[in-house]
């Protein structure tokens, strides 16, 4: 037996339509649930289409061996190391440059037409196709600075590619630090750098790390710019100096999927699994760092 109120005062002026509003609210809930479910199903299908052909080929040889023409002997050791160096190098480079830029723009620079122009440009750079960065890297690093098709040129190119995202994420994180915290620090006679170093950065650090994590994920999957800058050919050794040629996992996958033998396609699926595992490990480390520092900031 459902209870209901007697019509209260104001029935002439108000039409609450509680029932309809609640229905709309419930409908929205199902729509949002559907969107989530669809995403999960698609992700599941994607995972299945990789895991099914790839899992049988997933073994130590794949990780320890160098590329080979014989599928049973082919591995991706050089590509794994290439990817790790590229991603770590790019992350370090964009962390230093990107965070520095973000701190300068948010805390030091005057807010005028120039800084807003710079901000607009950084946002635009985040949307530039990655192949353009590859061409830039080819012209500036490979040719003009004579680095050749080297690991260093790849790191610099990839670092530039993810720099705008890191700057934008860091700026957002720094901007989200409440002004009252800065006032508190200035109020006891802190300089700008003391305020930034001891209060703004620790509070913003989790957000900054989120930006770094996202851009690392992007960097490890990027293929096009490295296709231009790096070697598309096989590399049969691990890079041991910054000027060595290099191979990365997405390029290896691209290379294998292009071969006629069906075994190489399955090998490519296995390589995708390895790529995802490496990405997962790197992100876990970054997330662990983020947790560590956000705890420390709160004490």
Partner 1 sequence: MVVDSNALTAQESRVRIPGVAADAFAAKSDAPESKTVIRLDQLNVFYGSFHAVRDVSLEIPENSITAFIGPSGCGKSTVLRSINRMNDLIPAARVEGKIEYHGVDVNSRGVDPVEVRRRIGMVFQRPNPFPKSIYENVAWGARINGYKGNMDELVEQTLRRAALWDEVKDKLKESGLSLSGGQQQRLCIARALAPNPDVILLDEPASALDPISTLKIEELLRELQQDYTIIIVTHNMQQAARVSDTTVFFSLNDERQGVMIEKGVTAKMFTNPEDPRTEAYISGRFG
Residue whose pair of structure tokens reads 């002439």 in the numeric block? 12
For residue 66, CA distances in Å to 69, 191, 247, 266 come to 10, 54, 11, 17
For residue 91, CA distances in Å to 53, 158, 201, 226 come to 32, 9, 18, 16
- State the minimum distance, in angstroms, from the CB of residue 181 to partner 1: 7
Q: How far apart are CA 111 and CA 117, in angstroms?
A: 10
- State the minimum distance, in angstroms, from the CB of residue 289 to partner 1: 18
Q: Measured from the CB atom, is 12 or 110 closer to partner 1? A: 110
Q: Which residues contact 18 (CB under 8 A, 6 or more apart)?
A: none
Q: Measured from the CB atom, is 174 or 248 closer to partner 1? A: 174
- The percent helix, strand, coil of the chain (3-state, each to 5) is 75, 0, 25
Q: Which residues contact 192 (CB under 8 A, 6 or more apart)?
A: 107, 108
- State the minimum distance, in angstroms, from the CB of residue 185 to partner 1: 8
Where are the alpha helices (H) located in 148-261, listed in sequence order?
151-175, 179-187, 192-195, 201-221, 224-229, 249-257
The torsion angles phi and psi of 67, rounded to 5 degrees, stand at -55, 150
Q: Measured from the CB atom, is 69 or 292 closer to partner 1? A: 292
Q: Measured from the CB atom, is 9 or 298 closer to partner 1? A: 298
- State the minimum distance, in angstroms, from the CB of residue 209 to partner 1: 17
Q: Measured from the CB atom, is 214 or 297 closer to partner 1? A: 297
Q: Measured from the CB atom, is 200 or 274 closer to partner 1? A: 200
Q: How far apart are CA 205 and CA 91, in angstroms?
A: 15
Q: Could you tell me if 247 and 150 are in contact, meaning their C-beta atoms sit under 8 angstroms apart?
A: no
Six-digit token pair at 227?
A: 């296709």
- State the minimum distance, in angstroms, from the CB of residue 188 to partner 1: 3
- State the minimum distance, in angstroms, from the CB of residue 290 to partner 1: 16
Q: Could you tell me if 236 and 67 are in contact, meaning their C-beta atoms sit under 8 angstroms apart?
A: yes
Contact positions vs partner 1 (CB under 8 A)? 110-111, 178, 180-191, 194, 198-199, 202-203, 297-299
- State the minimum distance, in angstroms, from the CB of residue 182 to partner 1: 7
Q: Measured from the CB atom, is 234 or 294 closer to partner 1? A: 294
Six-digit token pair at 57?
A: 């080929």
- State the minimum distance, in angstroms, from the CB of residue 203 to partner 1: 7
Q: How far apart are CA 107 and CA 91, in angstroms?
A: 23
């Amino acid at each position: 037996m459902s209870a209901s109120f007697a019509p209260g005062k104001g029935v002439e002026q108000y039409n609450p339509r509680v029932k309809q509003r609640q229905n709309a609210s419930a409908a929205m809930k199902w729509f949002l649930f559907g969107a989530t479910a669809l995403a999960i199903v698609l992700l599941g299908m994607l995972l299945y289409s990789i895991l099914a052909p790839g899992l049988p080929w997933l073994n130590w040889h794949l990780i320890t061996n160098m590329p080979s023409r014989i599928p049973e002997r082919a591995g991706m050791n050089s590509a794994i190391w290439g990817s790790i160096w590229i991603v770590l190098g790019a992350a370090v480079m964009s962390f230093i440059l990107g965070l520095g830029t973000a701190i300068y723009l948010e805390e030091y620079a005057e807010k005028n037409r120039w800084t807003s122009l710079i901000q607009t440009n950084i946002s635009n750079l985040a949307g530039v196709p990655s192949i353009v960065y590859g061409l830039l890297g080819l012209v500036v690093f490979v040719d003009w600075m004579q680095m050749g098709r080297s690991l260093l040129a790849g790191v610099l190119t990839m670092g530039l590619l993810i720099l705008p995202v890191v700057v934008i994420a860091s700026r957002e994180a720094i901007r989200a630090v409440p002004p009252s915290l800065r006032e508190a620090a200035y109020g006891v006679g802190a300089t700008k750098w003391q305020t930034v170093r001891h209060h703004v950065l620790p509070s913003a650090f989790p957000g900054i790390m989120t930006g770094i994590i996202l851009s690392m994920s992007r960097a490890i999957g990027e293929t096009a710019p490295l296709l231009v800058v790096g070697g598309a050919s096989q590399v049969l050794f691990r890079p041991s100096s910054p000027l060595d040629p290099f191979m990365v996992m997405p390029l290896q996958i691209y290379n294998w999927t292009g071969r006629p033998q069906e075994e190489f396609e399955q090998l490519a699926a296995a390589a995708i699994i390895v790529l995802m595992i490496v990405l997962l490990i790197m992100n876990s480390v970054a997330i662990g760092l983020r947790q560590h520092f956000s705890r420390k900031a709160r004490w």
